[in-house]
């Protein structure tokens, strides 16, 4: 982009120089037409130069605004999935099941307390009362997952919909297990392509955005949370967009 700007500025300066040369050396009868053509060329190049600066600025404003909206939905999906794992021991692999879970599931409220009881085996063995320490977990009650995560909001029912960009687009949701040290660990991933979020934006700038590798940008061609390839539940956006963990 910088190269284009420099070239455009150089051409404008050369064109202005030509206008002055024409005014000085070209016969009067040819001057009006040539002057009009050259000034039109200057206007065109000026407009192109302005756009080359203005378009990326507007693209970034639109991108940041839309990413922030998408990230809010990804955070809701992550919170819902973490609740699903806490209650069921695994992540949901589709949104229908995840929404149904939010509607119906409950957290169990428990209390741990230490206690001392007679160790019957040792008492029998040694003939004297012998005690042992145990932990007792009392169930105190239950609380709705929906109320805990969303209170009175019903936005979880539409969290599968990408809120901006391509109309009707939905997040892709995957879930499964990774095996580490012979232990199966639940994993999930929710994602949407940048091409979907910015479907109506400048295609050249979108290609550049898909190739971003930066500590303060969203690397890669998608916004996502979680991973099917490693055990993590954080998002791939920088913290300038909000908490990603």
54, 70, 86 - which closes a domain: 54
Residue 119 lies in a domain: no
Tell me what pLDDT residue 39 has: 65
Q: Are 36 and 65 in a shared domain? A: no
* C-beta neighbour count of 224 within 10 angstroms: 19
Q: Are 155 and 88 in a shared domain? A: yes
DSSP class of 212: -
Tell me what pLDDT residue 59 has: 93
d(CA 65, CA 208): 18
Q: Which of 47-51, 88-92, 184-188 has the lowest mean pLDDT?
A: 47-51
Q: Are 98 and 210 in a shared domain? A: yes
Is the torsion defined by CA of 25, 30, 32, 35 positive or negative?
negative
pTM of the model: 0.74
139: left (phi over 0), alpha (psi -120 to 50) or beta: beta
Q: Are 162 and 202 in a shared domain? A: yes
54, 72, 89 - which closes a domain: 54
Asked if 202 and 59 count as a contact pair (C-beta separation under 8 A), the reply is: yes
> Is residue 10 predicted with pLDDT exceeding 80?
no
Distances (CA, A) of 242 to 28, 68, 215, 237: 65, 8, 14, 8
End-to-end CA gap in the chain: 35
DSSP class of 211: T
Q: Are 161 and 186 in a shared domain? A: yes
Q: To the nearest whole number, what is the mean pLDDT of the chain? A: 84
Tell me what pLDDT residue 157 has: 96
Q: Are 67 and 46 in a shared domain? A: no
Q: Are 45 and 66 in a shared domain? A: no
Residue 78 lies in a domain: yes
Q: Are 96 and 165 in a shared domain? A: yes
Parent domain of 24: 2-54
**Pairing mode, strands 222-226 and 131-144:** unpaired
Q: What is the mean pLDDT of residues 125-139?
A: 74
Tell me what pLDDT residue 125 has: 77
pLDDT band at 127; cut points 50, 70, 90: confident
Q: Are 10 and 97 in a shared domain? A: no
Q: Are 91 and 205 in a shared domain? A: yes
Task: Report the SS3 class of residue 245.
Answer: coil
DSSP class of 27: -
What total of structural domains would you count in the chain? 2
From the list 197, 198, 177, the residue with the least C-alpha distance to 189 is 177
Q: What is the mean pLDDT of residues 23-27?
A: 62
Asked if 201 and 237 count as a contact pair (C-beta separation under 8 A), the reply is: no
From the list 19, 11, 17, the residue with the least C-alpha distance to 38 is 19
């Amino acid at each position: 982009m910088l190269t284009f700007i420099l070239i455009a500025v150089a051409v404008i300066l050369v064109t202005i120089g030509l206008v002055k040369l024409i005014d000085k050396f070209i016969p009067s009868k040819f001057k009006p037409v040539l002057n009009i053509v050259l000034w039109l060329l200057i206007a065109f190049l000026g407009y192109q130069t302005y756009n080359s600066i203005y378009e990326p600025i507007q693209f970034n404003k639109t991108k940041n605004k839309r990413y922030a909206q998408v990230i809010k939905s990804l955070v809701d999906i992550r919170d819902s999935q973490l609740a699903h794992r806490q209650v069921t021991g695994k992540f949901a692999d589709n949104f229908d099941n995840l929404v149904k879970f939010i509607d119906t599931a409950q957290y169990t409220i428990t209390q741990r307390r230490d206690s001392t009881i007679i160790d019957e085996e040792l008492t029998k063995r040694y003939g004297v009362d012998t005690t042992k320490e145990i932990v007792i977990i009392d169930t105190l009650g239950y609380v709705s997952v929906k109320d805990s995560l969303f209170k009175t909001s019903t936005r979880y029912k539409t969290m599968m919909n990408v809120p901006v960009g391509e109309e009707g687009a939905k997040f892709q949701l995957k879930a499964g297990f990774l095996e580490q040290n012979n232990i199966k660990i639940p994993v999930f991933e929710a994602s949407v392509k940048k091409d979907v979020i910015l479907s109506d934006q400048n295609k050249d700038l979108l290609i550049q955005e898909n190739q971003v590798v930066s500590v303060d940008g969203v690397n890669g061609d998608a916004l996502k949370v979680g991973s099917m390839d490693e055990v993590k539940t954080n998002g791939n956006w920088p913290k300038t967009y909000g908490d990603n963990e």
